[in-house]
Structure 1
């Protein structure tokens, strides 16, 4: 990774405060926390949060058994080694097995506090090289903030049962202006079935191989993708008795590509001599390859970090996915026949149209046949077709750019093991459209974008053993406008609508499950900026979260304005028309 003087979560996307006549394109800066009032030691810290469905232990389980994995303070940590700690499996894991029980739920909890002024910072948590959590810090205020993130890590049961090393990289900078130090605790909470459940749940992977960089490092263990020609990879040998394989991909975008969906094409930049403006258009695709085959793709959700666009939009309700960035699964079981030859194979990542910087790594989840030393298989069919098109119309700094793209990946293969000869088909279908409009001599920008992603996997041996399908739609609307520029001071008005609409369905010998999620945010605000510091401003955010599934229901309707919760209603009932339970938070 190239040396840098600033954290990758905060690099400005345009040259800082250039005269409007030179660059009238709306600024998409990253801003540190506001310092609009003197410190009042009597004020309690503000609790920031990302709206999500609470993680509930399975009915009848016992726990938690909790273990503190790491406690550290992240001051000037940029370009320095990650914080590390030896990992020893909690004694309760072995004790539960001795009693005939099994792991029901594992939750990784990050809790932190910070006081002062600081940018948002990206960070990652790894166990034995496998990433468990990708997140962004909250931006502090003078009186202090608190926040926590919980992630279900039950699928890493194989890793949790073995000794290893925990690593946390949070590249922070502390100086006379940016004073915030992040104090964090990382805790593992375990819950157990008192007896082996009947029927047993779908088993988790027997082995998890990290596709990441190895310690020691002065950075995170992720790969850094710096441009569209950059391919980062790692070679791995697959155990010869593998019968199923799933890649779990972690993705985050920073620096010139933090707001990739707002970038104009290079031809617009060249025509207007805007050399400091990031370009390459508004389409990005993470391509995942095994050797020479494109085994899948990631068209990522447009996470906006806690300092993005207008920091006051995300206080105390943060942007969707900002505290717990989503991961993306790619089933590569159809390719196992080409991989179980005892040789190392290349697992690589690239990003279409990429600018500096993307952080990507993956965990390879493997299921092993304990009744045989070797499985065999073959790839039967494979296709990875894609298309992309940009319609550009502009005159001077005003213009309209419409980008459309599609991708289809499908693969079918068989693996023969002690489970029989099992046929697996995996597919992905993506569609993308982005409209990017500049007006008023480039001082206003409107982005309308939709990502439509559908994927599925089915396994059969004459009868259907497993069938899963996920359909996700990611709509985004962004308005940004600058005005009243005097010297290095200007006003910025912004409005954002973003959401995740998701449907999941699966069927297996253990039964059928279904879920539907609609998670939508609408935020707007304004601010006055001088010398890249916010001198005044306001922001408000309204979020509606609705989840309905065979495993329960949850809804939350919450709104904030300028650090204060206006209303907060939640409900975990599945009854239609049920009375919503309300809870009003005090002002913070």
Structure 2
């Protein structure tokens, strides 16, 4: 469900932030924002073939020796006037080949594929896919053109094997609006592709049970929780099976409307000094807090996903922003807290967002591993350290010009033990975050430059008296640079120049009884362009994007270097060699 940002402040202030918050990316309320005008779209040749949009990512390949795919169409629907309507649903029955996999073999890979097309004029829209209440995919639609666009996104959903093996209900919410001006209807197919091992199964990796931490149907919206402000907290009561020995919370996050560009927001004091109460503020830092009862069990400092209409929509055609078609999820291992949860009672699983403005969509899936040899496991919390967030904002401004430097840090460290038929296992989980953001306004507020780095590190160590069972560590760095400047402003007419650099640098290591693995990802995207805006409509412009994706791991390598300009891919090189010259 998306539409536009609720920014109605007058543009005569020339404040760049307001121009950023009026534009184009997936949001949550139905109000005004800049759009491609009718005369611009009408000038396009509708006889042209549709443009294929894509997000650069590593191809999903089935494991060697696996069989398949066996594929099942889960849902086919045209999303027209669906805003504020119930999600589209369809009965889910496990494909026949899953029964065979549960026999002599095992599921090797499950891939959920969303494929869609759209023609005309329309916003980018956020949407979600749920199976029996558990979210499987969160994504943003492509913005169409008169000649049409097509795109697809595939997500590895093997970790939901237990959920896929049971009958249930598929739900898809994509809130769209269609009228005489905004004509685009999203025609979509949702397909499940399964691969399986013919031999006896390898050691168990996926959870035995997946419990959704989401809103239940019926709804006239998605099954996510909506966080509307900094004091809002949403939660769901759940009880944990008494024979649970491991638990991991997978969190889905997306931000919209007044917080779609939260990393560009100035502090409230800047807005108050300039009498700009209608412009979003609350500074340029956000974190998602995850609680169980009164304990902070983890946090999410989210990657700055830029949706397919963000800043200048011409930047993301046909190469979309990192994570825009397949929004990332974030894992929090809550095994150390099982000693407080295995009492047969319901417990509050809740979410809040520091400094939030309207609106954030959050839900989670609770992955549980069960001890089938016993009816009850026991546990205890050994140590827990979660000091308060450290947040500093240095502010200096004169009129509409100024600089705001925000820094933050947090750490959470928790250790607990669980006794089961596998023995007594001690699990340590930690998170360490650091953040710095510099926001500079100049030229009477018509130019804004943002430089930001999020550094997030987490790890899990589980061991018994004799060996390390699980050892995992993930280190992610999210760099971001944004330049936007306006000129030639006369009333609602002006020119906008945008330059955006964003990236994901990630290293993962894991070891223990399942063996050692390692991966390194460097995904860097650079985009720049300009556009002419007339009466809050995009009258023309251009966009160029360059992306370099490099993945190296024990499971293989992948490289892609691709550039586009004005809807056209102008260079594209890729390969899967692990030779140094290829990466």
* Fold match (TM-score > 0.5): yes
Tell me which of 3, 16, 19 is aligned to 1:27.
19
Q: Are the aligned partners of 2:12 and 2:491 in contact in 1 as well (CA < 8 Å)?
A: no
Q: Are the aligned partners of 1:450 and 1:476 in contact in 2 as well (CA < 8 Å)?
A: yes
RMSD of the alignment, in Å? 1.2
**Aligned residue in 2 for 1:413:** 416
Q: What SS does the corresponding residue of 2:580 show, helix, strand or coil?
A: coil
Q: What SS does the corresponding residue of 1:338 show, helix, strand or coil?
A: helix
Q: 1:214-266 deviations in whole A, cap 9, x for unaligned?
A: 00000000000000000000000000000000000000000000000000000
Q: Are the aligned partners of 2:41 and 2:146 in contact in 1 as well (CA < 8 Å)?
A: no
**Aligned residue in 1 for 2:149:** 145
Aligned-partner Cα distance in 1 for 2:535–2:179: 17
Q: Are the aligned partners of 1:23 and 1:274 in contact in 2 as well (CA < 8 Å)?
A: no
**Aligned residue in 2 for 1:540:** 544
Structure 1 residues 558 and 393: CA distance shift in structure 2, 3 A: same
Runs of 5+ in structure 2 lacking a partner? 25-34
**Aligned residue in 1 for 2:470:** 466
CA drift at 1:24: 5.7
1:511 aligns with 2:515: yes
Tell me which of 152, 160, 163 is aligned to 2:167.
163
**Aligned residue in 1 for 2:504:** 500
Structure 1 residues 33 and 94: CA distance shift in structure 2, 3 A: farther
CA drift at 1:276: 1.4
Q: What SS does the corresponding residue of 2:314 show, helix, strand or coil?
A: helix
Q: Are the aligned partners of 1:33 and 1:139 in contact in 2 as well (CA < 8 Å)?
A: no
**Aligned residue in 1 for 2:332:** 330
Tell me which of 261, 264, 282 is aligned to 1:262.
264
What is the TM-score normalised by the length of structure 2? 0.96
Q: 1:184-209 deviations in whole A, cap 9, x for unaligned?
A: 00000000001125xx2442100000
Structure 1 residues 440 and 22: CA distance shift in structure 2, 3 A: closer
Aligned length: 568
Tell me which of 530, 538, 551 is aligned to 1:526.
530
Q: What SS does the corresponding residue of 1:229 show, helix, strand or coil?
A: coil
Q: Are the aligned partners of 2:56 and 2:549 in contact in 1 as well (CA < 8 Å)?
A: yes
Aligned-partner Cα distance in 2 for 1:380–1:309: 47
**Aligned residue in 1 for 2:137:** 133
Q: 1:324-366 deviations in whole A, cap 9, x for unaligned?
A: 0000000000000000000000000000000000000000000
Tell me which of 430, 444, 465 is aligned to 2:433.
430
Aligned-partner Cα distance in 1 for 2:204–2:397: 54
Aligned-partner Cα distance in 2 for 1:24–1:247: 38
Q: 1:485-537 deviations in whole A, cap 9, x for unaligned?
A: 11211111010000000000000212100000000000000001112211010
**Aligned residue in 1 for 2:205:** 203
Aligned-partner Cα distance in 2 for 1:350–1:292: 12
Q: Aligned runs of 1:79-478 on 2, under 5 Å?
A: 79-98=84-103, 100-197=104-201, 200-385=202-387, 386-462=389-465, 463-478=467-482
CA drift at 1:576: 1.6
**Aligned residue in 2 for 1:585:** none
Q: What SS does the corresponding residue of 1:404 show, helix, strand or coil?
A: strand
CA drift at 1:33: 4.7
Q: Are the aligned partners of 1:470 and 1:504 in contact in 2 as well (CA < 8 Å)?
A: yes
Q: What SS does the corresponding residue of 2:410 show, helix, strand or coil?
A: strand
Structure 1 residues 24 and 335: CA distance shift in structure 2, 3 A: closer
Structure 1 residues 271 and 323: CA distance shift in structure 2, 3 A: same
Q: What SS does the corresponding residue of 2:258 show, helix, strand or coil?
A: helix
Q: Are the aligned partners of 1:466 and 1:507 in contact in 2 as well (CA < 8 Å)?
A: yes
Aligned-partner Cα distance in 1 for 2:450–2:87: 37
